[in-house]
Amino acid sequence: MVSLEDVGISFGGEDLFTGVSLQVNPKDRVGLVGRNGTGKSTIFRILTGELTPTYGRVSYPGGTTIGFLSQDIERSDTQSVLAEALTAFAELQTLSGRIAEIGRRLETATPGEQQQLAERLASHTERYHLLGGGREESLAERTLIGLGFERAQLGQPTRELSGGWRMRVELAKILLQNPSLLLLDEPTNHLDIESIQWLEDYLKTYPGALILVSHDRRFLDNVTNRTLELAVRQGHSMNLPYTKFMQAREEQREQQLAAFKNQQKTIEKTQEFIARFRYKPEKSNQVQSRIKQLEKMEIIEVDEVDSSGIHFRFPPAPRAGDTVVEVKNLAKHFGDKRVIERATLSIARGEKVAFVGRNGEGKTTLARILQGELEPSEGACRLGHNVAIGYFAQNQEDVLDGSRTVYETIDAVAVGEVRTKLRDLLAAFLFRGDDIDKRVSVLSGGERNRLAMVKLMLKPYNLLILDEPTNHLDIQAKDLLKQALNSYDGTLIVVSHDRDFLDGLVGKVYEFREGRVKEHLGGINAFLESRRIGSLDELNAPQQKAASGAKDAEATRKGGGEGWKERKQLNNEIRRRQREIDRIEAEIATGEERVKGMEAQLADLSGVPDQQAFFAEYEALKRQLASLMKSWEEKIYELEIIQEDGL
């Protein structure tokens, strides 16, 4: 599908990377990994044709289509969420016009022309159905909801969306375009855990190829089957997902290092022999032979390891009271919008907990209340004795002074002996050389995050509240931050959607959902397992309710009253609607079989006596299928509403 052959690129006479080769075949799932600055985004810009490589060659077969999700999007905020998503179907509109035009030409075509037109019609029709022709609106709704939008949000103007939600619309559009090659640059950055799981399932069955840049280890492992690593000015590729790839690369480096050491011993012994016998005539032939041996020897190279990284430990935490945070019946409203309702939780000294849930459910709001930036609308929020909070915010413009340099920012808060180590500390966070003299105002988002973390670690806090601390950090930096937090002896609250980062770090999860806060004991994997089971239960609700209806009815009947009658009416209504859905699904299956049979006939119309009537029936059948699909979507939605109201 796409081929990179010894590709390299140079900026200002200095190579960013060289010798990158990659063959991407249909249904390949390639993880593109490497430290920040090694050239991952540059590879994408080369693949899209935005940049021309300095060395090597890039080739595509005819008809290749590319969909690229960049971190920098061009916004068009003139319509609703759903209308913006539907712009992804421009190709469908073109195909529909071509199919209609061919249909008109077939009415007056000669027998010789009909066969050629029929072949073109079959090709266009196959592509039309592959892209979801006739089901555009239902596909767009399903994709947007999968990415976290509520149905009520689909009519919201895109200009009212935050950057993260706007990025979700762009991701939906690219998925709906169904390109033969998907290029996704950090697609999970603005997604919550449930949306990430939906995207994983979607990409696993995506019919085209995928190249993915992500710092989410688990997402890479679950989605990809190949890995291309951009290391120090070079690339390495294996048919393995990320974690297995890194294990294989480590074994490869160990083997290279062992071979290199053995070769160096051989070289050293040979050089000693030459030096010892160089001026002895009786050994001249042997000396010349050893000299030639060294000249011909190919020196074994050990792949260079980028060992730069973030190394730090948080200062010891001052002792706090037994209970660090206590929240009782807390509610928070913004005007008519009720974000949190009656939240109650307690966090003990030394606990490490996670706040998880969909975006907009109140995780950051509660973090800001704990920090003292916001007041609750109702209820109480109390901090324990001697609690000192260190707060890491998503928006670093709020906590960093843009007029100061990197060094001045840290120098202003550092006290004691650590002042003598500030340059080493900044270097550990990848601020080296002239970087420390940069103004904060010119730093990228990732650089601001790292600088804010350095600033945070210089003071001895006993409660850390970290809101999305891994955004813009690469995998190695996240691993090192996680190690430091695991050894931290204070209390930790972390707001995050990064499952791999939370795994092994937190022992309790607070789920924010529909205004409520629910405690889940155990780590993130236990929580995810319980939520997945819950989701399956909800999907199977009609069958389960029907099966359990007799037990519920019998229990209620014994108690008498109106509750039993209402429950019986609800179960009857659920069964009636489920039968209606089953009927529509059967009609859709029959219709799809008929369309499939007619499309097979398009390849050879010689046996069709009335071709005009054939095409009229074909178009009518497609319209009927589209109508049935829309009706099915509506009935499913109505059933879900009834089931939720009856819980």
Sheet hosting strand 516-521, strand order edge to edge: 389-392, 463-467, 491-495, 352-357, 508-513, 516-521
- For residues 546 and 517, state if they share a domain: no
**Using CA atoms, how far apart are residues 314 and 488, in angstroms rounded to an integer?**
6
- For residues 518 and 397, state if they share a domain: yes
**End position of a domain, from candidates 527, 551, 580:** 527
Task: Say if 283 falls within a structural domain.
Answer: yes
Tell me what pLDDT residue 425 has: 77
Amino acid occupying residue 281: P
DSSP conformational letter for 374: S
Sign for the pseudo-dihedral over CA of 51, 57, 58, 63: positive
- For residues 291 and 341, state if they share a domain: no
Task: Say if 312 falls within a structural domain.
Answer: no
Using alpha carbons, select from 376, 384, 374 the residue that is nearest to residue 342: 376
Residues with Cβ within 8 Å of residue 382, at least 6 apart in sequence = 325, 326, 327
Task: Say if 620 falls within a structural domain.
Answer: yes
Tell me what pLDDT residue 565 has: 63
Burial class, 149, CB count within 10 angstroms (exposed 0-12 / middle 13-18 / buried 19+): buried
- For residues 425 and 363, state if they share a domain: yes
- For residues 496 and 554, state if they share a domain: no
Task: Say if 146 falls within a structural domain.
Answer: yes
Contact 369, 375 (CB under 8 A): yes
Residues with Cβ within 8 Å of residue 514, at least 6 apart in sequence = 361
Q: What's the number of domains the chain is made of?
A: 5
Tell me what pLDDT residue 539 has: 34
- For residues 333 and 455, state if they share a domain: yes
Contact 461, 316 (CB under 8 A): no
Mode of pairing for the β-strands spanning 491-495 and 352-357? parallel
Task: Say if 239 falls within a structural domain.
Answer: no
- For residues 333 and 468, state if they share a domain: yes
Task: Say if 566 falls within a structural domain.
Answer: yes
CA 48 to chain centre: 20
Burial class, 307, CB count within 10 angstroms (exposed 0-12 / middle 13-18 / buried 19+): exposed
Give pLDDT tens digits for 303-345.
765 545 556 678 889 999 999 999 999 999 988 888 999 899 9
Q: Residue 46 sits in a domain of what CATH number?
A: 3.40.50.300
- For residues 639 and 516, state if they share a domain: no
**End position of a domain, from candidates 527, 555, 570:** 527
- With a cut of 70, list the residues of the chain below it in pLDDT: 72-76, 232-233, 304-312, 395-398, 532-568, 603-604, 637, 640-647
**Using CA atoms, how far apart are residues 416 and 419, in angstroms rounded to an integer?**
6
Using alpha carbons, select from 494, 291, 464 the residue that is nearest to residue 387: 464
Contact 98, 124 (CB under 8 A): yes
Q: Which residues pair with 512 in a beta bridge?
A: 357, 517
Task: Say if 184 falls within a structural domain.
Answer: no
Q: What is the DSSP string of 236-299?
A: EEESS-HHHHHHHHHHHHHHHHHHHHHHHHHHHHHHHHHHHHTT-GGGHHHHHHHHHHHHHPPP
**End position of a domain, from candidates 302, 334, 356:** 302
**Using CA atoms, how far apart are residues 529 and 499, in angstroms rounded to an integer?**
12
The helix (run of H) or strand (run of E) holding residue 511 is: strand 508-513
**Using CA atoms, how far apart are residues 203 and 223, in angstroms rounded to an integer?**
7
Give pLDDT tens digits for 482-506.
988 999 999 999 999 999 999 999 9
Using alpha carbons, select from 145, 165, 146 the residue that is nearest to residue 73: 165
- For residues 589 and 501, state if they share a domain: no
Query: What token pair was written down for 319?
Result: 């002792």
- For residues 370 and 230, state if they share a domain: no
Q: Which residues pair with 8 in a beta bridge?
A: 55
Helix%, strand%, coil% for the chain, nearest 5: 55, 20, 30
- For residues 80 and 51, state if they share a domain: no
Contact 478, 33 (CB under 8 A): no
Q: Which residue range forms the structural domain that includes residue 269? A: 260-302
Task: Say if 255 falls within a structural domain.
Answer: no
- For residues 511 and 562, state if they share a domain: no
